[in-house]
């Protein structure tokens, strides 16, 4: 990035932060030549893999659907909007980093659970009960005890 003041060929990033939900990255830059500072905005473009459903068909990844599911699990839990945004961001990044162009809905569920666990245990159990659709109480108990072990 060229400096807009002296046209020096390089600038140093002194601070960057992501603002969700627009996925904008705000960067504070400084020119090492003239020491002027300026701000740039970049849009982070997520490219999601296709989602393979349990029934076998594939569909486009739906950010809204993911968000809704997570928010339902977090209903009435004391989680701030900032934490929710960071959580969604981490999950989205992890989904995008999958090596394949396809991802199973089960894998998405695992990714959500692995991140949700650190945010809120009740939400974790709620999400797990929907996503893993426990067949019986034993399957549920196994998940809870696994959670306790970790």
Contact residue for Zn ion among 3, 73, 123, 128 (CB under 5 A): 3
Binding region for Zn ion (CB under 5 A) out of 8-16, 19-27, 65-73, 129-137: 8-16
Paired tokens of 51: 């989602």
Q: How far is the CB of 11 from Zn ion (least distance, A)?
A: 7
Q: Least distance to Zn ion from the beta carbon of 24, Å?
A: 24
Rounded to the nearest 10 degrees, the angle between the axes of helix 81-96 and helix 105-119 is: 150
Exactly one of 10, 13, 22, 34 binds Zn ion (CB under 5 A); that residue is 34
Pairing of strands 50-52, 102-104: parallel
We find the least distance from the C-beta atom of residue 29 to Zn ion, in angstroms, to be 10
22 and 28 Cβ atoms separated by less than 8 Å: no
Whose Cβ is closer to Zn ion: residue 36's or residue 121's? Answer: 36
Using CB under 5 A as the binding criterion, the count of chain residues that bind Zn ion stands at: 7
- Whose Cβ is closer to Zn ion: residue 8's or residue 48's? 8
| Binding of residue 30 to Zn ion (CB under 5 A) | no
Got the DSSP string for 6-71? T--S--EEEEEEEETTTTEEEEEEE-TTT--EEEEEEE----PPEEEPTTS-EE---HHHHHHHHH
Does 14 sit near Zn ion (CB under 5 A)? no
Is residue 140 near Zn ion by the rule CB under 5 A?
Answer: no
């Amino acid at each position: 990035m060229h400096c807009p003041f002296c046209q020096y060929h390089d600038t140093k990033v002194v601070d960057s932060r992501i603002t969700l939900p627009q996925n904008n990255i705000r960067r504070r830059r400084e020119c090492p030549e003239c020491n002027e500072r300026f701000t740039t905005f970049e849009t982070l473009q997520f490219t999601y893999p296709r989602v393979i459903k349990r029934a076998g068909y594939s569909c486009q990844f739906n950010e809204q659907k993911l968000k809704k599911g997570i928010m339902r699990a977090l209903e009435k839990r004391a989680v701030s909007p900032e934490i929710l945004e960071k959580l969604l961001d981490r999950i989205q990044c992890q989904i995008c980093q999958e090596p394949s162009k396809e991802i199973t809905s089960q894998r998405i569920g695992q990714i959500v659970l692995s991140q949700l666990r650190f945010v809120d245990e009740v939400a974790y159990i709620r999400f797990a009960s929907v996503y893993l659709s426990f067949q019986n109480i034993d399957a549920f108990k196994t998940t809870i005890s696994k959670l306790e072990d970790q």
